[in-house]
Structures are given as C-alpha cells and as structure tokens.
A and B are shown apart, each in its own frame.
Chain A
Amino acid sequence: MDNTLYVGLSRQMTLRRQLDIAANNMANVDTAGFKVEKLMLQTDPLSPSGVGAGSLLGPVKYVIDDGVARDFGQGGLERTGATYDVAIEGDGFFTVQTKDGPRFTRDGRFTVDAQNRLVTKAGDPVVDASGSGVTLDPQSSPPAIGKDGAVTQTDIHGQVNKVGKLSAVRFANLSGLKKEGDNLYSSPETPVAANDANIRQGMVERSNVSPMLEITSLIDITRAYERITQMMASNQDLSKSAVERLGRAA
C-alpha cells in the first residue's frame, strides 16, 4: 500500500527539480548566449519487481531524473551596433583563456582592457583556435570584424591591417560540455575549428529561452504536482477507511 506514496514522492521530487530548472531558464531569459535546459526523466531501472515469479502484481515503477538536456539552438540575434559585440551565427563557441584553462562561450559581448587586448567583461582574453589573442592598435580606426572573424583596423595612412582573428570552435559531443557559470562552458574534449559559422559584429545573441514554452511548462509542473499530491491524499484516505472498516468487522 505504501508503494503509492513512494511512487508519488519520486514524482514530487522530480517535479521540484523540473521547477528549479524552469526557474533557472526564466531567470536567464535576458542572459546573452544562454541555452535553455530541460530535465530528462526515466523509469528508475532499480524499481523492485512484483513479489514472486508469475505474480499478478506488476513491478513498481519509480521515476528518476537521469540528465539535463540543453537545446543548443540559435538564439535570436539582436543588433546593438556596439563595436565589440559579436555573435556567432551557426554552431560554435568563442574560446576564452581563463586562469583555469580554456573556456567556451556564446556570449560575445567583449571589450578591450588597459593593455588594448580584446577581453571578456571578466578580463579574460579572447583567443582564436590556435590560442592567440587579439591586440588592437589604439592609433587606428575602431576594429572591423569580418564574417570569418578576421579583425582589421584602418591606420592613419588608410592602410587596412589585420590585427587578429576571432574563431568559432565546436565539439563532437555537445552534451559533454559542463556549465561553469558566467556564461562559460568547459569541455574535456579538444575542439575543432568551425569554419562554416559566421561571426557578426554589432550583434548579440539573445538567450534561446522561449517565454511561452516556459510559462506553459510552469503550469504543467504546478498542475502535475497538485495531481500527484491529490493522489497521495486519496491513497491516505483509502488506507484510513480500510483500517476503520476492517477494524469494525473484527
């Protein structure tokens, strides 16, 4: 009889976790380059089966979460016009050299530091596939960034000079990426250059969270939670009245 309660509890626990993930998606609805996440559920493979072989009782199946899936779909590109805003159109990540090693990001809101290097807002240099950064020439025009990521500046004599390159990299196994916070990912895998991804200057990739879907899933989660709670409550009533009736017969 108590199995109903335990099955209900396993669902309640996964629902709470689903809500946590939906809450994180919604908190990051305005975070550049954020990728929406969803909890994946499955039947707990360790669920105990019914008593005895050939028993009429089926196995009790609990629910368990076995992973978080990320949708790496393109977020909307918003035109900001800022010189150091860049977005990737297509698959790929920018590489950032942090003190903990290379990190990958879709958030291309860069800036320059006091040494005139192209850096993230945290001050970590942005590097290309081969690991070299971009240092700008302060005497020349603001940098122009081509679709292929080439960073060029026009000097005072009208000469166009290439000062560096931004490149997009990609991974064979996207689900192996680990989120590190600060819009950064880490990966145990060595990335390869993604030459078919376009780099767009003056654009920012918005979060790909769809508010409509999130609100719907929010309603889903609350209702499912209420339903399962209701079911647990009626199960309680059932066992209570069973005890009362059986008690009376004796």
Chain B
Amino acid sequence: MSAFRRLAPFGFPALIVALVPMAWVLDEYATKTLTKILVVGLLAVSVALLTGVAGLPTLGQTAPYLVGAYTAATLVRHDVHIGVVQLLAAAGAGALFALVTAPLVVYARGVVVLMITLALGELTSTVAGRWKAVTNGTDGMLAFTSPAPLPGLVTLDTDRATYLYVLTVVAVLVGIVLLVLRSPAGAMLRAARDGETRMRASGHPVAGYLTVAYVAAGALAGAAGALLVTVERYVSPGAGGFDVAALVLLAVVIGGATSLVGALLGAGLVVATRDWLAGTDDRLAGHAPLILGGLFVICVYLLPRGLLGKRSAHE
C-alpha cells in the first residue's frame, strides 16, 4: 500500500506519456475513439472532483458541459477559431453556470444532491432543445471550422492533430487539479467531505469551500464541452442527455471516485466496453442504455470498496 502511495503521484504523468505515441501507433478510427474517451474522461474528472473529493454525488455535470459546448459552438459560428479562446470562454461559461446554480447544490447532501443535480442536468438539456434562437433547438449546432490551438499554430485538420490537442488540454487541466488537490486546499476539501461538524467547529465556511469546488468542476465540464465541439464539430441537446450523465458517473464509480486518474481510466473502460459489446453482438447494437445499466448494476454489486463503500463508512 505504501509503495502504491509513493508511486501514485507518477501515475498521471506516466499515463499521459504513454498516450502521446498513440497518435502514431493507432489507426484513424482508434485515434478518434481515444480522443472521444479523453473528452468524456475530462467530464468524468469533474464528476469525480465533486462526487469523490467534495462528497457531492452528481448526475448533473452534463449541464455545464452543454453550456460549454454551446458557448464554443457559438464562438465558431462567430468566426472565433482559436482553440484556447474557445476553451477559456467555455470554461468560464461552465463556471458561471455553476456559480448561479451553486445555492441549489452546496447546501444539500448525499442522495438529495443526486436528486437536484439530475434535475439540473435534465432541465439544461430541455432548455437546449427549446431555446431555438440560441441553440438551434433539437437540430443542434454545426461548428465546421477546426480551430487552431493558439494564434499562428496550424489548424486541427487531422485526427492526429485533434487527438494531440485534446490530450494536451486534458493533461494540463487534470494536472492543475491534481496539484491543487495535493495542496492544503485538497486536504480542506476532503475534510469538508469527511466531517462538516468539525469543519464548522473549527470556523471553516463549508458551503463556501463546496461552492469553489462546484464552480471549478463546472469550469472543467465547460472545457470538456469545448473539446467536444472541437472533436465532433457539432453539438445537440443529446450530448448532455441521461445516458451521458450515467456514463460519466459509472466511469467515476469504476475509477474509485476519490481518484481523478481512476475516473479517466474508468471513462476509457466504460466507452471501450460499451463499443466492444455493441460491436461483437448484433443483438446489443443500439442498446447503449442496456449495456450501461448492466455495467452499473454489476459495478454497484462488485465494487463495494470503490466510492460507495468508502462513502458509507463516513455516513
């Protein structure tokens, strides 16, 4: 265990280093799949930050994800083709969304958070479907032009370039979050999760800390939304639907919730398993919810020491 703990800080850099050469090893289809996994993985990291670290189990991070995606798509339509600008704007929009909805979330605990965030996610997806003037309704928004990561750099015209761009963004953002969590701020957030009574008795404003975590998670999800638009060149309300919320929460459960790297790996495992099952058995093709739900049930039963066992110990 202590050896594992000593090695843990190297897990994430090692993962990223291992992923870079994939751009030249994998074929186009596999590269594209891996890119999509990274996008979903970043969303899963934002869910893990809330669910595992801050103790706010959420099904609603699809909401800032959609907000970020529509922000990025709108920028593309207004001829803003700089990747970093799209990212910052989308992260800002996701953070703003979180700031506005924070009072709904940070005072609730446990399954009530699940209940409220599920409603937030679904309502946001509904708004995206109805607000035609801004979102083009259920038809979705096309965002054809590929961005250049920074002014003066090449545009992301190939799958390989897009993959490397997404990988870089995910590496930087997750790296920042990991560093912050290793700092005293991380200890304070975990303390708020472990026991609020003692936090208050020590004078700490728990709701304030949770708001910061929720806004940060909103920014991450918003950035993931921008990456989604870069990869898919398209966004529709379905990108933030029930099944996506289920997928990322499942990824987090598999990854062990308290581990952000686990969430990334979990996202890969879930997407790969889903696609593999749907690909090998014709009867399962088109039954993504069935596969996801089945995986969910299996994981809840078989992974008692993941997120769930750990949380119940504190309850």
Do A and B form a real pair? no
